[in-house]
A and B are shown apart, each in its own frame.
Chain A
Amino acid sequence: MDTSNPAVFVNAELLRMHVGRRVRAVIQVLRSDGGGSVIGKSTDEQQLVVKGHPSGPLSTFVEVIGIADSNQSIQAEIWTNFGDALDTACYNNVCQLANGDFKHLFI
Chain B
Amino acid sequence: MYGTSQFDGNAAFSGGGFMPSQATQTADPAFSPAKNRDAQALLPLTVKQISEAFQASDDKANFLIDGVDVNNVKLVGMLFEKTERVTDVSFVLDDGTGRIDCHRWVNEAVDTKEMELLSNGMYVKVHGHLKGFQGKKQLMVYSVRPLTDYNEIANHFADCMYAHCYNTRIRKLQDASQTPGHMPNSAVNTPSKGYQPTPSNHFSVQYNMDGVKGIDKSVLGYLQQPSCIAREKGVHRNELAQQLNVPENKILEAIESLESEGLIYSTIDEYHYKSTANG
Measuring CB to CB, which residues of chain A are less than 8 angstroms from any residue of chain B? 1-4, 6-9, 24, 61, 63, 65, 78, 80, 82-83, 86-87, 90-91, 93-94, 97-98, 102, 104-107
Closest to A97 in B: B161
Pick the contact of A3 from B78, B97, B123, B151 — CB < 8 Å?
A: B97
Complex contact B98–A94 (CB within 8 A): no
Say whether, besides A1-B136, A94-B158, A78 and B99 are in contact (CB < 8 Å): no
Complex contact A9–B48 (CB within 8 A): no
Q: List 23 A-B contacts (CB under 8 A).
A: A1-B50, A1-B100, A1-B137, A2-B98, A6-B48, A6-B98, A7-B96, A65-B96, A80-B121, A80-B123, A80-B150, A82-B150, A90-B155, A91-B151, A94-B157, A94-B158, A97-B158, A102-B161, A104-B48, A105-B160, A105-B164, A106-B46, A106-B97
Complex contact B97–A1 (CB within 8 A): no
Complex contact B150–A83 (CB within 8 A): yes
User: B40 on the interface (CB 8 Å rule)?
Assistant: no
Q: Which 9 A-B pairs have the closest CB atoms?
A: A3-B98, A82-B150, A7-B96, A91-B154, A94-B154, A2-B99, A102-B161, A3-B51, A90-B154
State in angstroms the CA–CA spacing of A7 and B50 once bound together: 16
User: B47 on the interface (CB 8 Å rule)?
Assistant: yes
Interface residue tally for chain B (C-beta within 8 Å): 28
CB-defined contacts of B100 to chain A, threshold 8 Å: 1
Say whether, besides A87-B151, A105-B161, A106-B48, A6 and B121 are in contact (CB < 8 Å): no
State in angstroms the CA–CA spacing of A24 and B98 once bound together: 13
**Those of B15-73 within 8 Å (CB) of chain A:** 46-51
Nearest-neighbour CB distance to chain B for A58, whole angstroms, equals 13
State in angstroms the CA–CA spacing of A8 and B48 once bound together: 12
State in angstroms the CA–CA spacing of A80 and B147 once bound together: 12
Nearest-neighbour CB distance to chain A for B93, whole angstroms, equals 11
Say whether, besides A94-B158, A105-B48, A105-B49, A9 and B98 are in contact (CB < 8 Å): no
Complex contact A87–B50 (CB within 8 A): no
Per-residue A-contact encoding for B148-168, CB less than 8 Å = 1, 0 else:
011101110110110010000
Say whether, besides A9-B96, A97-B161, A106-B96, A1 and B47 are in contact (CB < 8 Å): yes
Complex contact B47–A3 (CB within 8 A): yes
Say whether, besides A1-B50, A3-B51, A80-B123, A107 and B161 are in contact (CB < 8 Å): no
State in angstroms the CA–CA spacing of A102 and B153 once bound together: 16
Closest to B45 in A: A105
User: B111 on the interface (CB 8 Å rule)?
Assistant: no
Closest to A61 in B: B150
CB-defined contacts of A8 to chain B, threshold 8 Å: 96
State in angstroms the CA–CA spacing of A84 and B123 once bound together: 16
Complex contact B97–A86 (CB within 8 A): no
CB-defined contacts of A80 to chain B, threshold 8 Å: 78, 121, 123, 150
Closest to B96 in A: A7
Closest to A81 in B: B150
CB-defined contacts of A83 to chain B, threshold 8 Å: 149-150
Say whether, besides A3-B47, A83-B150, A24 and B161 are in contact (CB < 8 Å): no
Say whether, besides A1-B137, A97-B161, A105 and B97 are in contact (CB < 8 Å): yes
User: B101 on the interface (CB 8 Å rule)?
Assistant: yes
Nearest-neighbour CB distance to chain B for A49, whole angstroms, equals 21
